[in-house]
Amino acid sequence: MLQAAIKVILTSLLVVGASEAAKRNFLIGAVLASLPLTSLLAMTWLYVDTGDTAKVASLATGIFWMVLPSLLLLLVLPWLLHRGWGFAPSLLVSIAITTAGYLAMLAVLQQLGIEI
């Protein structure tokens, strides 16, 4: 239980740190947010919990393939916002398009015989 609490605290501090940095300097906030901190933390916690490098490798491979459709959110959201859409509708549409991208990526990977 203590280990789970430590994970939550460390992960939360990193996310809040990136958000706070963005308030002061967009470049620093963008750099911090673009780092694969979530991926690194997930792989680290998985290894700490299991000691299984094969599981870590599988997770890293899955993350690689799923990063590609996640980029849709970063393209669609600012595009809609620059066209005068409100934040909430832009975010919802971006999430919907990103979700469709994830489903499409999974279908493509399955067709290519790539397991994640």
| CA terminus-to-terminus distance, the chain | 29
| Residue 112 CB coordination number (10 Å) | 8
Q: What is the largest CA-CA distance in the chain?
A: 49
- The answer to whether 46 and 57 have CB atoms below 8 angstroms apart is no
Q: What is the 3-state secondary structure (H, E, C) of 48-68?
A: HHHCCHHHHHHHHHHHHHHHH
The secondary structure of the chain in percent helix, strand, coil, rounded to multiples of 5, reads 90, 0, 10
pLDDT band at 17 (very low <50, low <70, confident <90, very high): confident
pLDDT at res. 44: 92
pLDDT digits (tens, 9 = 90+) for 35-79: 788 888 889 989 999 999 999 999 999 999 999 999 999 999 999
pLDDT at res. 116: 80
Extract the tokens encoding 103: 């489903």
pTM comes to 0.72
Q: What gap in Å lies between CA 55 and CA 47, rounded to an integer? A: 8
- The answer to whether 33 and 58 have CB atoms below 8 angstroms apart is no
Residue 90: which H helix or E strand, with range? helix 87-112
* % of the chain with per-residue pLDDT over 70: 100
